[in-house]
Structure formats: C-alpha cells, structure tokens
C-alpha cells in the first residue's frame, strides 16, 4: 500500500524512519525516506495535529451529516467558524491592549 501511494499518487513520507538497534531496515523506500528526511517539515506536523485537536475539542469529533458531500460541508463550516473565532479573539486582544496602554498613559 505504501508503495502504491508513493508511486501512483506521488506522495512523500513526512515521518521519521524507525531504527532497530541503530540500523535502518533494508528497502528502497526506507533508505530513500531516511536519506531525504526533512526535519523542519516534520515539525510542521505538530501544528496540524494541534489544529485538528482544537477543532475536535471545540466542535466535537462526530459529524451529524450522513452523506459524504454534506459531511464535507459540515467540516468546512466548522473550519470557517474556528477561523472566525480566532479572528474575533485577535481583535478583542488588540482592543484590550490598546485600552490598557491608553490607561497607563493617563
């Protein structure tokens, strides 16, 4: 399956290769993964995992829609609501910060 994903879809693995007793298992793809591992790109995964976690905690893990396209729409709505929430939080923080600084000057 991994071979099919790499060859047909052109996907790249972003996870580090496990080593057993300091050695890497043989195999064309494992050797390639080890040689081409991008540490900076792997760290980006943490941000994605955090975003998914926030969405699940805030809006729940389950989807109410039964049909696939309605599920896609429901996910998009959740993402839009999350982005709006973050935008409002940012505006509130900026306003409070400005008021705080203004109060300090008087």
26: alpha, beta or left? (left if phi > 0; alpha if psi -120 to 50): beta
Run of H or E including 20: strand 19-20
pTM tops 0.85, yes or no: no
* 69/87 Cα distance (integer angstroms): 27
pLDDT tens-digit readout, 94-106: 999 999 999 988 7
Residue 26, token pair as written in the block: 């043989």
Spell out the alpha helix ranges (H) of 1-67.
2-9, 28-35, 39-59
**Per-residue pLDDT tens over the stretch 39-83:** 888 888 888 899 999 999 999 999 999 999 999 999 999 999 999
């Amino acid at each position: 399956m991994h071979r099919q994903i790499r060859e047909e879809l052109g996907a790249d693995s972003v996870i580090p290769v496990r080593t057993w007793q300091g050695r890497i298992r043989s195999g064309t793809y494992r050797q390639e993964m080890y040689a081409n591992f991008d540490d900076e790109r792997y760290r980006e995964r943490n941000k994605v995992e955090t975003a998914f976690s926030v969405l699940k905690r805030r809006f729940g893990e389950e989807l109410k829609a039964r049909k696939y396209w309605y599920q896609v729409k429901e996910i998009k709505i959740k993402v839009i609501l999350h982005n709006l929430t973050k935008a409002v939080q940012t505006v509130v923080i900026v306003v409070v910060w400005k008021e705080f600084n203004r109060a300090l000057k008087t």
